Amino acid sequence: MSEETMPKAESPETAALAAQAKSASGKGPPPVHLWNPPFSRDLDIRIARDGTWWHEGTVIKREALVRLFASILKLEDGKYFLVTPVEKVGITVDDAPFVAIDADPDEAGIRFTTNVGDTVLADKDHAIRVELHPETGEPSPYIHIRRGLEALIDRKTFYRLVDMARVEGDRMIVHSGGEDFELGSVG
């Protein structure tokens, strides 16, 4: 992507961060796990539970910019950061940083796609887990995407998983990548 076609960020600080990330990543996913710059500051960037990215109270509408920022997202000690080789800035994540928007079965198992274009096969390294709300019992299902970062599985995709599940006793189980994952209880 040339500099002219790179989406403009909403502020000079996010533009600088995007430029650093773009130049550092080259081809393929950025090696975020190798980057350990000192903490710089917090930015007013928030990822809402529905996967929408916000900057200073305004939705970031440029999909390419959201995907670029998602590629440099890092989780450390329960906090989320956007990192480049020279800068680490804190951001806020309401729930999970990504949303799994689709799941398709294939010969290897169940392949998930996120709102930022990641695709993973549910397996030992990309586990599905379901948390139940302590008061309502409503499920919040997640799948591990990379390096501690998870995607909240959206409602329609979770219903598709339930349709794929087999029942063992009172448990709903899906099988993928050589692993069984419990979705919840029947009834």
**CB of 53 within 8 A of CB of 59?**
yes
pLDDT score of 137: 85
Report pLDDT for 148.
Answer: 96
Q: How far apart are CA 51 and CA 115, in angstroms?
A: 7
Closest to 128 measured CA to CA, from 183, 91, 76: 183
CATH superfamily of the 98-185 domain: duf1285 protein (2.30.270.10)
Question: How confident is the model at residue 26, as a pLDDT?
Answer: 53
Whole-model pTM: value is: 0.85
Looking at residue 29, what is its pLDDT?
A: 80
* Consecutive 10-residue averages of pLDDT for the chain (187 residues): 41 65 62 94 97 97 95 96 96 98 96 97 98 90 97 97 95 97 89
Class of the CATH-defined domain 12-93: alpha beta
Q: Do domains 12-93 and 98-185 have the same CATH topology?
A: no
pLDDT of residue 186: 84
- Hey, where are the domains in the chain? 12-93, 98-185
**Helix, strand or coil for residue 7?**
coil
Strand order in the sheet with 88-93: 58-59, 53-55, 39-47, 88-93, 79-83, 73-76
